[in-house]
Structure formats: C-alpha cells, structure tokens
Amino acid sequence: MSDPLLPGGSSASLLSVYDWPAPDAPGGSGSPHLHTVASEAYVVVAGEGAVQTLSAEGFAERDLVPGRVVWFTAGVVHRLLNRGGLEIVVLMSDSGLPEAGDAVLTFPPDVLADPEAYRAAVTLPAPGSVPDDVRERAARRRRDLALEGYRALLSSVEDDGPGALGPLHEAAARLVAPQTASWARSPAGVEAGSGARPPWRRSRPVGASRPHTWRPARSPSGTPCRAVASACAACCAGSTSLRAAATDGLGRDSTRPHDHR
C-alpha cells in the first residue's frame, strides 16, 4: 500500500523512533540528518521524547508529547530522542524525495567529502536480502556514525555560531547534485501518459502566486549553495527552523517505516 498523498504532494507515515541507546539518550536516538528540499512536520501520537535542531538560530530542543506538532524547513539538521514509546506521524513535503536522496546524514566531514564513502556508509542491505538482525546492526552502525558527526557539528555551532553549518550544507549540495535531474522525472508508480504529476513536482510552492523556479540560494548559515544551481532550495531555506503548536493529534494514516529515525 502506498503512502497517502496530501495536497502539494505531501505524504503521511507512522514512525516509531529507534530505542537504541546513545551516550546522551538512554531511551534511544534517531539518526541526525537534514533534507535538501523537503520540509517536514511531526505530529506526536504516543510516548514522549524530544527533537533537537541545528539551524540559523543555533541549537534548539523541543519536548515531544502526544498532541504536539513541530515543523521545520529544508536545511535544518534534526535529531529525534526517544524517552519512552515515542511514535509520531511524519508529514513530508515533496513525497518520494527523501527516499531518492534528499536526506543527508550528518556523517563526519571526511565521509561527507567522499561520495563513494558516503554511499557505502548510508546504504543498508535491501529488506529480505539478509537476516533482520544483520540489517539492524547495519542501521545502528549508520546511526552511530551520524551521531559522531552530529556531536562534532553541535560543538562547532556552540563555539562558532550557525556559520559552522556551512561546510555541511555545501557537502550536502554536492552529494545530491548528481540526483537532482531524476527528481524531475516520473517515478515508476506514475503510469506513462497518465498525465499524473509526480508527487514531488509542483508548478509552485504552496502559497505562491506564480510558477516557482529553483534558484541558487543561501543556506541557514549564510553560505551560498554554489554546487547545485537547479534544485537548491537544496540546503537553503532557513528563516523558519522550528515551530510548535497545540493540536488534538492525528490518526495513524500509514505504516511505512522511516529508516533514518
């Protein structure tokens, strides 16, 4: 069953956050990452935890309890902490792009600088190709490597300010650049000639009054995104890093797992 699509090509999926401990998260931690194009929202439906972000506003942490909603834009590094049974509904713009390479994990700089090393570190065995425990160990190694890079990044932001995010944003732009052309093509799920628009293609962003053209922009750290001229809301956005609002909570509309969390 495919994920339900919402207006603007968004998707909804139910996420249970990793319960694998980390040094600063005994209840479990997700894999820190950013999205180069997609914006994201969390609707908490069970348990408790927190989300940490690194953005143009520096470091922030928001508690997550049932009924709370948080959302953030492309380029904002985010990490989930599980403090007991945390489950959230993820609302993701540009549905399909995170799986197509829009998400970039916070690996150490030497890994981010080498596309082959990054690909080797980020790729998990296909489901069913290996025993579940083997795939879980691979996912945990990937999570731990992202946490290693995140801790160094957090220290740099605390010492030097949000400008320390610049090298990560530039590395993310370089990593996704080879894939951006494929983002404009129809996915396998859209029948040829059907006239259907792939979920991540839209003539204008929500709320815009005229067709939108991707253009080189600046990252939350103020660094020009020079590497990607065609799709670079890529690491850019950033005036809005994290917002929260009260809500009654949403139902569980989908069951697709999110491998980054």
Are the C-beta atoms of residues 162 and 220 closer than 8 Å to each other? yes
Q: pLDDT tens, 20-40?
A: 999 999 999 999 999 998 888
| Spatial separation of the C-alpha atoms in residues 200 and 222, rounded to whole Å | 26
| Spatial separation of the C-alpha atoms in residues 107 and 41, rounded to whole Å | 23
Domains of the chain: 5-184+212-246 (2.60.120.10)
- Averaged over 58-79, what is the pLDDT? 95
Report the share of the chain in percent with pLDDT over 70: 65
| Spatial separation of the C-alpha atoms in residues 118 and 142, rounded to whole Å | 10
What's the confidence (pLDDT) of residue 220? 43
pLDDT above 50 for 57: yes
Q: pLDDT tens, 197-223?
A: 333 333 222 233 333 333 333 344 444
Indicate the pTM of the whole model.
Answer: 0.72
pLDDT above 70 for 261: no
| Spatial separation of the C-alpha atoms in residues 8 and 95, rounded to whole Å | 9
Are the C-beta atoms of residues 42 and 69 closer than 8 Å to each other? yes
**53 sits in which H/E element:** strand 49-55
